Amino acid sequence: MTPETRIAESPPSLPNPLIGPGHTFGTITDKISSIVLGQRTPLWWFLTFGVAFLFANAMLLTIVNLLFRGIGIWGPNVPVGWGFDIINFVWWIGIGHAGTLISAILLLLKQTWRQSINRFAEAMTLFAVACAGLYPLLHTGRPWLDYWLFPYPNTMAMWPNFRSPLIWDVFAISTYATVSLLFWYVGLIPDLATLRDRSPSRAGRMIYGILSMGWRGSARHWHRYEMASLLLAALSTPLVVSVHSIVSLDFAVSVIPGWHATIFPPYFVAGAVFAGFAMVLTLAIPLRRLYGLHDFITDRHLDYMARVMLATGLVVGYGYLMEAFMAWYSGSLYEAYMMLNRFAGPYAPAYWALILCNVLAIQTLWFRRVRYSPVLLMVVAMFVNVGMWLERYVIIVVSLSRDFLPSSWGLYAGTQWDWGMFLGTLGFFLTLFLLFIRFLPMISIFEMRTLLPESKLEAEEVHA
Partner 1 sequence: MKARPPIYGLMAEFEDLPALVQATHRAHEAGYRRMDAFTPFPNEELSELLEGHHNLLPKIVFVGGLLGLLSGVALQWYTNAIDYPINVGGRPLVSWPAWIPVSFEMTVLLAAFATVLGMLGLNGLPMPYHPVFNVPRFALSSQDRFFLCIEAEDPLFDREGTRRFLESLQPHEVSEVEH
* 368, 5 contact by CB (below 8 A): no
Q: Pick left, alpha or beta for residue 297 (phi over 0 → left; psi -120 to 50 → alpha; otherwise beta).
A: beta
Name the residue nearer to partner 1 (CB basis): 3 or 238. 238
What single letter denotes the amino acid at residue 76?
P
Nearest-approach distance from CB 163 to partner 1, in angstroms: 4
How far is it, in rounded angstroms, from Cα 45 to Cα 93? Answer: 26
Q: Pick left, alpha or beta for residue 17 (phi over 0 → left; psi -120 to 50 → alpha; otherwise beta).
A: alpha
Nearest-approach distance from CB 190 to partner 1, in angstroms: 7
Nearest-approach distance from CB 245 to partner 1, in angstroms: 8
Name the residue nearer to partner 1 (CB basis): 221 or 289. 221
* 132, 422 contact by CB (below 8 A): no
The residues that touch partner 1, with contacts defined as CB under 8 A, are 24-26, 29, 151, 157-163, 165, 167-168, 171-172, 175, 178-179, 182-183, 185-186, 190, 193-194, 196-198, 209-210, 213-228, 231-232, 235-236, 238-239, 242, 246, 249, 446-447, 449-450, 454-455, 457-458, 461-464
Crossing angle of helices 165-198 and 118-139, in 10° steps, is 140
Nearest-approach distance from CB 70 to partner 1, in angstroms: 29
Name the residue nearer to partner 1 (CB basis): 74 or 446. 446
Task: Compute how many other C-beta atoms are within 10 angstroms of the C-beta atom of residue 314.
Answer: 16
Nearest-approach distance from CB 168 to partner 1, in angstroms: 4
Nearest-approach distance from CB 149 to partner 1, in angstroms: 12
* 119, 444 contact by CB (below 8 A): yes
* 94, 276 contact by CB (below 8 A): yes
Nearest-approach distance from CB 107 to partner 1, in angstroms: 13
Closest CA to 389 of 271, 258, 253: 271
Rg (CA), the chain: 24
Name the residue nearer to partner 1 (CB basis): 209 or 258. 209
Nearest-approach distance from CB 236 to partner 1, in angstroms: 8
- Whole-angstrom CA distances from 361 to 308, 309, 365, 376 are 15, 11, 8, 11
**Which residues touch 61 (CB under 8 Å, ≥6 apart)?**
420, 424
Closest CA to 92 of 46, 43, 50, 126: 126
Nearest-approach distance from CB 143 to partner 1, in angstroms: 22
The dihedral through the CA atoms of 185, 188, 193, 195 has a sign that is negative
Name the residue nearer to partner 1 (CB basis): 4 or 461. 461
Nearest-approach distance from CB 332 to partner 1, in angstroms: 23
Name the residue nearer to partner 1 (CB basis): 167 or 314. 167
* 190, 215 contact by CB (below 8 A): yes
* 258, 338 contact by CB (below 8 A): yes
Nearest-approach distance from CB 145 to partner 1, in angstroms: 18
Name the residue nearer to partner 1 (CB basis): 184 or 393. 184
What single letter denotes the amino acid at residue 343?
F
Residue 297 half-sphere exposure toward CB, CA atoms < 13 A: 26
Crossing angle of helices 264-290 and 374-393, in 10° steps, is 150
* 295, 287 contact by CB (below 8 A): no
